[in-house]
């Protein structure tokens, strides 16, 4: 197992396969002005498999496929199949907005995908369009239903709370956990990229404490659920009589950097050492200059060794070179 200089075990790879999306959430992706990686800039399925094999040999056990929106990647099923087949990898999961999921979910499950986190910020169709801009609630919900049919469990719904857009909808989302054994997680905005989305994150920020207070005022006291792992970024609770769980992911108001177990690989082949820092190491350059699995593992070990202790949002420091769409959350 790999440990960093702060004693954290790093065993979870977040693997971005594309830095483009078919939605345009106001806090994540501007309507114009971003350049996306294309063609040879993206790691190939073979290169991705090489990185995952190196990670598995170094002790990584979990992989999450992210984007952008991963279902836009033409070779997604092949990538999942290759990753799931790597000895040592125990779980392959994916984060998606669900819009394109119904057309490929069975193939993904057959390839080895075990579960999905679905991005649904509101259950109100009009507010969905205003906040997520492209796509519809009906399409996202069809993606959720397809994941259930394919047996991708547990179902987790991620909602990023943005003042004036969906903070009034958190009760309806939390209420989904009463009749369903789903996990609904409320996520604080993070200022990444330095552009208009980062400004939205600052101007429209809603703390988890405020979201929790709104839910409890309407639905009753939330009872804590014991943490499954110190590296779990979500602090989880149950509503009275609920089958599922309500979670809060609070990177700004209650940072969980002390338990971080993640390394991120960007779609254009960089180890991104911390979500809210710009530090990166170039994997693609190693691969395309003749380096194989051994060289990639050496670079990964260096990335873990150089991983920062945590973010510096309290000091006004955040990433400037990458938007959320480019680092996979």
The whole-chain average pLDDT of the chain stands at 92
Residue 195 confidence (pLDDT): 79
> Whole-prediction pTM value?
0.94
pLDDT band at 329 (very low <50, low <70, confident <90, very high): low
Reported as half-sphere exposure (CB side, CA atoms, 13 A), residue 218 has a value of 13
Mean pLDDT of 185-206: 88
Output the domain CATH number for residue 147: 3.20.20.70
Residue 192 confidence (pLDDT): 77
Domain count, the chain: 1
- The domain of 93 spans 2-326
| Tokens standing for residue 286 | 């190693």
d(CA 166, CA 154): 24
Q: What is the pLDDT of residues 286-312, one digit of tens each?
A: 999 999 999 999 999 999 999 988 776
Cis peptide before 284 (omega within 30 of 0): no
pLDDT band at 126 (very low <50, low <70, confident <90, very high): very high
């Amino acid at each position: 197992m790999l440990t960093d200089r702060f004693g954290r075990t790093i065993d979870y790879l977040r693997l971005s396969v594309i830095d483009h999306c078919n939605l345009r959430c106001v806090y994540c992706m501007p309507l114009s002005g971003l350049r996306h990686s294309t063609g040879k800039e993206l790691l190939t399925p073979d290169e991705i498999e090489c990185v995952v094999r190196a990670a598995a040999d170094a002790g990584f056990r979990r992989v999450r496929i992210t984007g952008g929106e991963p279902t836009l990647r033409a070779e997604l099923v092949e990538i999942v199949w290759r990753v799931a087949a790597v000895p040592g990898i125990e779980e392959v999961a994916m984060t998606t907005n669900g819009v394109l999921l119904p057309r490929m979910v069975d193939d993904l499950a057959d390839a080895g995908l075990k579960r999905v986190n679905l991005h649904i910020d509101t259950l109100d169709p009009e507010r969905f369009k205003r906040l997520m801009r492209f796509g519809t609630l009906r399409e996202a919900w069809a993606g959720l239903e397809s994941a259930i049919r394919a047996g991708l469990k547990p179902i987790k719904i991620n909602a990023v709370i943005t003042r004036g857009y969906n903070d009034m909808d958190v009760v309806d989302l939390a209420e989904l956990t009463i009749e369903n054994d789903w996990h609904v997680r409320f996520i604080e905005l993070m200022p990444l990229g330095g552009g208009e989305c980062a400004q939205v994150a600052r101007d429209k920020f809603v703390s988890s404490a405020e979201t929790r207070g709104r839910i409890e005022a309407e639905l009753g006291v939330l009872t804590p659920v014991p943490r499954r792992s110190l590296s779990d970024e979500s602090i989880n609770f149950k509503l009275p009589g609920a089958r599922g769980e309500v979670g809060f992911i609070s990177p700004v108001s209650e940072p969980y950097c002390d338990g971080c177990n993640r390394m991120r690989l960007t779609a254009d082949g960089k180890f991104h050492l911390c979500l809210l820092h710009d530090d990166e190491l170039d994997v693609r350059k190693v691969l395309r200059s003749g380096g194989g699995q051994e060289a990639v593992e050496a670079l990964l070990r260096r990335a873990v060794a150089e991983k920062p202790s945590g973010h510096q949002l309290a000091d006004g420091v955040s990433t400037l070179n990458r938007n959320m769409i480019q680092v996979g959350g």
